[in-house]
Structure 1
Amino acid sequence: MVRKHFGTDGIRGQANSVITPELAMKVAQATGVLFQRGDHRHRAVIGKDTRLSSYMIEYAMVAGFASVGMDSLLLGPMPTPAVAMLTHSMRADVGVMISASHNSFEDNGIKLFGPDGFKLSDEVEAKIETMLDKDSALKLSKPADLGRAMRVEGDRARYIEFAKRTLVRHLSLEGLRIVVDCANGAAYKVAPEALWELGAEVFSIGVEPDGFNINRGVGSTTPLALVKKVREMRADIGIALDGDADRVLIVDEMGKIVDGDQLMAVIAESWKEDGRLSQPGVVATVMSNLGLERYLHGIGLSLARTAVGDRYVLEHMRQHGYNLGGEQSGHIILADYCTTGDGLVAALQLLAVVKRQSKPVSQVCHRFEPSPQVLKSVRVSAGKPLEDANVARAIESGRQKLGSSGRLVIRASGTEPVIRVMGEGDNLDLVERIVDEVCDAVATFARAA
């Protein structure tokens, strides 16, 4: 089935264009009908980030849920992992996060969670898509059975306590100077408060959301503001979250950016030493660096690769019993604690290693030398370039040139109309040349389409 609405991470697009109130209401209605199981009072937990359109989508979804007899519990601005946790903790039937993650304020999205706190499977999303196109499947409730909506009190404190409890008892961050960048997004209150309560000296940026500035010049996708602040404050570490706080990047005390691959390496080695890995390996995507794979092999661990998207990482983890996985972009999934990526919890695990080793972050986080990696995107508005013969020849030629010393990954983005081309290998000049050749072939197709 061709996916009309759902991408690799829920539904996403420009607010009031792709993501309209009508669509949001229908998604709520379809999800509400699908998840009304049993005779109890049915409830949906709804969280959001700080972009302006989140109000519009939130109220549309409340109307949708109410119209099919489901109550809505409104969290306000909260990280995606907090919504997942609270959905399960509050015994809700479904969870909703209104966010476009790291995108700019013009975009928004809808992420859905089941009662177990996990993102919905492709099969369940397919059922929702089918229902969206069939109004007869959206059975409205009688007037006496309509749902209600209420604001949840104390949700922020509950999530902060949850995050703190992922650390060993009595561990203190006292003595650490931490800069945290909340991207003017969903974690702008909870992340600084959690770090402060653990004893750190905290300096915050990206904590003044106005509806328009989410991810603008701050956050994990644009970490230069954090680099500058770490150097200015002579901090020990910088922590950058994205708009919905399900991903994290680190800046060490020297101002060097540390990505998700290095974080996975640190946590994997620490958990291996403590006997905490449920399987002798880590799950990552095809985009993770070859250097990570080589490093893990060197310490006796494997690297399983999946398609891009933290949902596919988690799916593989659940099927094969892994408790650690993630993405180079900073989605780190710690299955002992979370049902999705959690930027704050991942950062706390790193800080625990820093405290235990009593070493600078630059030493703790430099586990391997990354292989040279080049990533470029080509916008394609129509057609299927990956099925084009000329594009296929360019890809096959590139793979033959790289041989066993590198990798070439080409994929269509699940959130934007672009083809992403990633190449890596020991010879940077060769990698750049191959990536350019493939991009040129895709661009030629796009111009002709």
Structure 2
Amino acid sequence: MARLFGTDGVRGLANGQLTAELALDLSVSAAHVLADRGEFSGHRPLAVVGRDTRISGQFLEAAVVAGLASAGVDVLLLGVLPTPGVAFLTGSLGADLGVMLSASHNPMPDNGIKFLARGGRKLDDAVEIAIEKRMGEPWQRPTGGKVGRVTVHAPAIDEYAAHLDSTISHRLDGLTVVLDCAEGAAHVAGPQALRDAGANVIAIHAEPDGLNINDGCGSTHLEPLRAAVLQHGADAGFALDGDSDRCLAVDHEGNVVDGDQILAVLALSLKEQGRLADNTVVATVMSNLGFVQAMRAHGVEVLQTRVGDRYVLEAMKTSGYNLGGEQSGHVILSDHATTGDGILTTLHVLERMATSGQSLQQLAGVMTRLPQVLVNVRDIDKARTDQDAVLAAAVAEEEAALQGRGRVLLRPSGTEEMVRVMVEAPTLDEAEAVAARLADVVKAQLTL
């Protein structure tokens, strides 16, 4: 049987693959795995549950709460709150586990269930496997006063916003910022945190109706943000995704500032303050070569991991690094958060602008993005990607021709019979030509 858990929780079409029954069963099993300490210590297990704005989050929340409470877990309902807000409150409220109902940047019909361990940390693979294994097993159901209580935790947004503001030491007075809330989980917390920090905030896509999350807005659709920044003459704009664990930006002229550039701005800020652990930043193999070159030119080492913020987090945790992220806008400031946080990232970039007196365009100019081309080659045997000698020779030949001015990366898809051919080169034409040649070799050598 295929694993239920993907790279970021359990996701699927709400009421299709992701049913109320599945949500209830998963929650019972998660309670047994993550909160199995109550009867031995006199401690009643506690969970916090949050969701994004998808209409399906309402019935899934009810199912999750029913599962947890039936397993004897007390539940605090956080309501609509960003994923990093749920992570923060899992830790600050001393909960045994947290649950976030969201499919992040996915379209509205999808939804997902993400479990967090004590302290608000993402689950290890071993814990996810344990949860799956215990689904459907016989168990002793609590009765009477041993079932869980369910309470609404009304101050959730205020507590999370206050935490975010406590992480910066310089106010943002005088800065005008557009915040695209993606009709999602941060539509209240995001503008509130930025305004409390002193910024003049123009919030767009902050009127969710349960159906419009990520619909033509947010970090996957930057055109509305660009238009709003230019219309209002703002200093910068930031776009969150549906659950606000990532953000991308545009400068005052509407130029896109991606996750690599945001990571570069924050890395140099922390280094200047003497707070960048081991002068190292963690990124993925998909980070632009221009980012790596810029960091090394400023004395910052770059540790690259597999694609996925969970791998960035693992590397940071293992080696004690405090900054990492992805080109897609997941940025992890582990001094303040256990996961990527789009609002937190926005605050710290704005603080850097305020303290340096530089525009976002000037700050992001520390790196020059090399043109990057990505070609997906489908219907091939991806398992042979690293074994085919002809393909290896073709990659080596192209890399030699680039002479260190670019790079080549072949990455098998994690979910499809597909290989992604990624090429960076000094010019777009050169990158496209190399990618096309290698894609032809992949098709010729790996076709099923």
Can you list the C-alpha shifts for 1:163-205, whole angstroms capped at 9, x where unaligned? 000101xx22121111100000000001111111122211111
- What is the deviation of 1:386? 3.5
Can you list the C-alpha shifts for 1:363-416, whole angstroms capped at 9, x where unaligned? 122211111111244566xx8534369988446523431234433334355578
User: Who is 2:164 aligned against?
Assistant: 163
Tell me, yes or no, if structure 1 residue 339 matches structure 2 residue 338: yes
| Aligned positions of 1:346-385 closer than 5 A | 346-377=345-376, 384-385=381-382
User: Who is 1:192 aligned against?
Assistant: 191
TM-score w.r.t. structure 2 length?
Answer: 0.92
| Aligned positions of 1:257-268 closer than 5 A | 257-268=256-267
For the residues of structure 2 that align with 1:165 and 1:323, how far apart are their CA atoms?
17
Tell me, yes or no, if structure 1 residue 83 matches structure 2 residue 86: yes
The answer on whether the counterparts of 2:382 and 2:418 sit within 8 Å (CA) in structure 1 is no
Query: Any idea what SS the aligned residue of 2:12 has?
Result: strand
- What is the deviation of 1:443? 7.1
**Percent of aligned pairs with the same amino acid:** 44
| Aligned positions of 1:19-418 closer than 5 A | 19-35=18-34, 36-38=36-38, 39=41, 40-132=43-135, 135-136=136-137, 139-168=140-169, 171-377=170-376, 384-387=381-384, 393-394=390-391, 397-403=394-400, 404-413=404-413
Query: Any idea what SS the aligned residue of 2:177 has?
Result: strand
Can you list the C-alpha shifts for 1:286-320, whole angstroms capped at 9, x where unaligned? 11111111111111111000111111101101111
For the residues of structure 2 that align with 1:24 and 1:410, how far apart are their CA atoms?
36
* Paired amino acid for 1:424: E
The answer on whether the counterparts of 1:7 and 1:415 sit within 8 Å (CA) in structure 2 is no
Query: Any idea what SS the aligned residue of 1:6 has?
Result: coil
Query: Any idea what SS the aligned residue of 1:228 has?
Result: helix
Tell me, yes or no, if structure 1 residue 423 matches structure 2 residue 420: no
The answer on whether the counterparts of 1:85 and 1:338 sit within 8 Å (CA) in structure 2 is yes
Structure 2: runs of 5 or more not aligned: none
The answer on whether the counterparts of 2:87 and 2:121 sit within 8 Å (CA) in structure 1 is yes
In structure 2, the CA distance between the partners of 1:410 and 1:212, relative to structure 1 (3 Å rule), is farther
The answer on whether the counterparts of 1:48 and 1:97 sit within 8 Å (CA) in structure 2 is yes
The answer on whether the counterparts of 1:21 and 1:56 sit within 8 Å (CA) in structure 2 is yes
In structure 2, the CA distance between the partners of 1:313 and 1:369, relative to structure 1 (3 Å rule), is same
In structure 2, the CA distance between the partners of 1:390 and 1:274, relative to structure 1 (3 Å rule), is closer
In structure 2, the CA distance between the partners of 1:200 and 1:425, relative to structure 1 (3 Å rule), is same
Query: Any idea what SS the aligned residue of 2:220 has?
Result: coil
In structure 2, the CA distance between the partners of 1:13 and 1:421, relative to structure 1 (3 Å rule), is farther
* Paired amino acid for 2:174: G
Can you list the C-alpha shifts for 1:263-285, whole angstroms capped at 9, x where unaligned? 11111111111101121110001
In structure 2, the CA distance between the partners of 1:70 and 1:56, relative to structure 1 (3 Å rule), is same
- What is the deviation of 1:422? 2.2
For the residues of structure 2 that align with 1:443 and 1:15, how far apart are their CA atoms?
36
For the residues of structure 2 that align with 1:437 and 1:29, how far apart are their CA atoms?
51
For the residues of structure 2 that align with 1:144 and 1:379, how far apart are their CA atoms?
56
In structure 2, the CA distance between the partners of 1:107 and 1:44, relative to structure 1 (3 Å rule), is same
Q: Number of paired residues?
A: 441
Can you list the C-alpha shifts for 1:316-355, whole angstroms capped at 9, x where unaligned? 0111110111111111101110000011111111111101
Tell me, yes or no, if structure 1 residue 432 matches structure 2 residue 432: yes
* Paired amino acid for 1:86: L
The answer on whether the counterparts of 1:218 and 1:225 sit within 8 Å (CA) in structure 2 is yes
Stretch of structure 1 that moved more, 385-394 or 26-35: 385-394
Stretch of structure 1 that moved more, 405-414 or 226-235: 405-414
For the residues of structure 2 that align with 1:138 and 1:417, how far apart are their CA atoms?
40
* Paired amino acid for 1:267: L
Query: Any idea what SS the aligned residue of 1:220 has?
Result: helix
The answer on whether the counterparts of 2:391 and 2:445 sit within 8 Å (CA) in structure 1 is no
* Paired amino acid for 2:238: I
In structure 2, the CA distance between the partners of 1:48 and 1:289, relative to structure 1 (3 Å rule), is same
In structure 2, the CA distance between the partners of 1:161 and 1:402, relative to structure 1 (3 Å rule), is same
For the residues of structure 2 that align with 1:421 and 1:81, how far apart are their CA atoms?
32
In structure 2, the CA distance between the partners of 1:80 and 1:407, relative to structure 1 (3 Å rule), is same
In structure 2, the CA distance between the partners of 1:178 and 1:389, relative to structure 1 (3 Å rule), is closer
| Aligned positions of 1:11-26 closer than 5 A | 11-26=10-25
For the residues of structure 1 that align with 2:385 and 2:58, how far apart are their CA atoms?
42
The answer on whether the counterparts of 1:399 and 1:407 sit within 8 Å (CA) in structure 2 is no
Stretch of structure 1 that moved more, 193-202 or 24-33: 193-202
In structure 2, the CA distance between the partners of 1:87 and 1:408, relative to structure 1 (3 Å rule), is same
* Paired amino acid for 1:411: R
* Paired amino acid for 2:158: A
- What is the deviation of 1:24? 1.0
* Paired amino acid for 2:114: K
CA RMSD after TM alignment: 2.3
For the residues of structure 2 that align with 1:167 and 1:41, how far apart are their CA atoms?
35
Query: Any idea what SS the aligned residue of 2:66 has?
Result: helix
Query: Any idea what SS the aligned residue of 1:101 has?
Result: coil
In structure 2, the CA distance between the partners of 1:182 and 1:414, relative to structure 1 (3 Å rule), is farther
Query: Any idea what SS the aligned residue of 2:374 has?
Result: strand
